[in-house]
Amino acid sequence: MAVRNGQSPILHVENLVTRFYTPEGVVHAVNGVSFDIAEGETLGVVGESGCGKSVTMLSVLQLIQRPPGKIESGEALFHDKDLLGMSSEEIRHVRGGQISMIFQDPMTSLNPVLTIEKQVAEPLILHIGMTKQQARERVVELLELVGIPEAEKRLQDYPHQFSGGMRQRAMIAMALSCNPQILIADEPTTALDVTIQAQIVDLVKRLRDEFSMSIVWITHDLGVVARIAQRVIVMYAGYIIEEAPVKELYANPTHPYTIGLLQSLPRLDAKEGRRLAAIQGRPPMLYEKPMICPFAPRCINAFDRCWNENPPLINLDGMHKAACWWDIKEEKARNV
């Protein structure tokens, strides 16, 4: 278990493996993922759709549908207690109380036939034991905290009466209701327009600093990660293929996939007429566990070793790691 700044991580995930058993075959969704997050830290998890980033976090909280999903191996230590080994009753008290999750689409996450008050109050009554009146007063405080105007008048509204941005704020209020130690945000701004995205990111940053929470921010948008995260892990084909502090990742990306993601971003300082780069090819179908480098079919730097051996995460410099046999900076194969 890594120790940074003299502190043990609040969450340590080791060798997590998750599979989905479907009629078409076994999907190797998460393949031996290991990471940790420190108290008060914001960790960005980035990658294309289907790379395993959401499944990793859902597995940690035992939220994958079983069947067809199955957590094959690994451990997720939260205060030295393994979340993956907990019973349904034990993990239910962790979810929402100590670790909360915000999902991508609040319209499908919120119950359309329950009022906003009932939904935000539920974890307060379940995990803290508040009375309905105490919970009502706290719900008003929470809705005001996340920037919903005239909060008391909106308690009896239903989700369809809120705008997309307001629904996401209500989801954040629900997630924060029990003062969780970790907040997992699964692409919470994807369905929102750019202006509302910025407001939600600024809101989460403010609440993080106010409550000293740890945050795991899952996204495919490296622009959002630059604004909110301190450290980033990049996932591809169910593997972590690069990990670094956010400034180091943007200044010195070392995996061809990360470089491709960064080159596909529009830049304000780019020369006029510069075309955005595209990563050729498509992500692999994961019906078989990759025994070669999973990015090799799309990589312009691939050589013989890439087609014969899947690289592990290699320590490069300090906290920077990459799973790549090719040294882009030196333009030669790594001697490992």
Is residue 228 predicted with pLDDT exceeding 80?
A: yes
Q: What is the pLDDT of residues 31-81, one digit of tens each?
A: 999 999 999 999 999 998 889 999 999 999 999 998 899 999 999 999 889
Is residue 204 predicted with pLDDT exceeding 80?
A: yes
Prediction pTM value: 0.89
Cα–Cα distances in angstroms (integers) from residue 57 to residues 19, 29, 184, in the given order = 14, 12, 8
Distance CA 298, CA 115 (A): 48
Beta-carbon contacts of 204 under 8 Å, excluding residues fewer than 6 positions away, are: 172, 183, 185, 188, 215, 217, 228
Is residue 2 predicted with pLDDT exceeding 70?
A: no
- The predicted structure's pLDDT at residue 298: 93
Beta-carbon contacts of 333 under 8 Å, excluding residues fewer than 6 positions away, are: 303, 305, 325, 326, 327
Phi-psi region of 31 (alpha: psi -120 to 50; beta: other; left: phi over 0): beta
pLDDT band for 203, please (50, 70, 90 cuts). confident
DSSP secondary structure string for all residues of 302-335: --GGGGT-PPPPEEEETTEEE--SEETTTTEE--
Q: Which of 69-73, 164-168, 269-273, 303-307 has the lowest mean pLDDT?
A: 269-273
On whether the CB atoms of residues 228 and 201 are closer than 8 A, the answer is yes
- The predicted structure's pLDDT at residue 21: 96
Amino acid type, 91:
I
